Amino acid sequence: MGMLIDGQWSRDDQRRTNPDGEFVRNASTFRSHIGGAAYPPASGRYHLFVNAGCPWAYRTILYRQIKGLTEHISISFTEPAMGTEGWTFGTPEPLLGARHIHDVYTAADQNFTGRTTVPVLWDKQANTIVNNESSEIIRMLDADFADLSGVADSDHYPPELRTEIDALNDEIYTCVNNGVYRCGFAHSQQAYEQAFDALFATLDKLDARLAEQRFLCGDQITEADWRLFATLVRFDLAYHGQFRCNRNLLSQYPNLWPYTRDLYQQPGVAETVDIEAIKGIYYGARHPGILPKGPQIDFTEPAGRG
Considering only CA atoms, give the Rg of the chain. 19
Q: Are 117 and 56 in contact (CB under 8 A)?
A: yes
Q: At what angle do helices 223-234 and 162-172 cross, to 10 degrees?
A: 20
**Residue in 58, 63, 181, 282 annotated catalytic:** 181
Can you tell me whether residue 52 is helix, strand or coil?
A: coil
Instruction: State yes or no: is 173 an active-site residue.
Output: no
- For the question of residue 46 being annotated catalytic, the response is no
Distances (CA, A) of 209 to 116, 130, 205, 212, 245: 37, 37, 6, 6, 21
Distance between CA atoms of residues 48 and 118, nearest Å: 9
Q: Determine the Cα–Cα distance for residues 252 and 260; give it in Å rounded to an integer.
A: 12
Q: Which of 54, 175, 217, 245 is catalytic?
A: 54
140 exposed, middle or buried (CB, 10 Å; 0-12, 13-18, 19+)? buried
Using CA atoms, how far apart are residues 201 and 193, in angstroms rounded to an integer?
Answer: 12
3-state secondary structure at position 195: helix
- The rounded distance, in Å, linking the Cα atoms of 306 and 304 is 6
Query: Annotated active-site positions, please?
Result: 54, 181
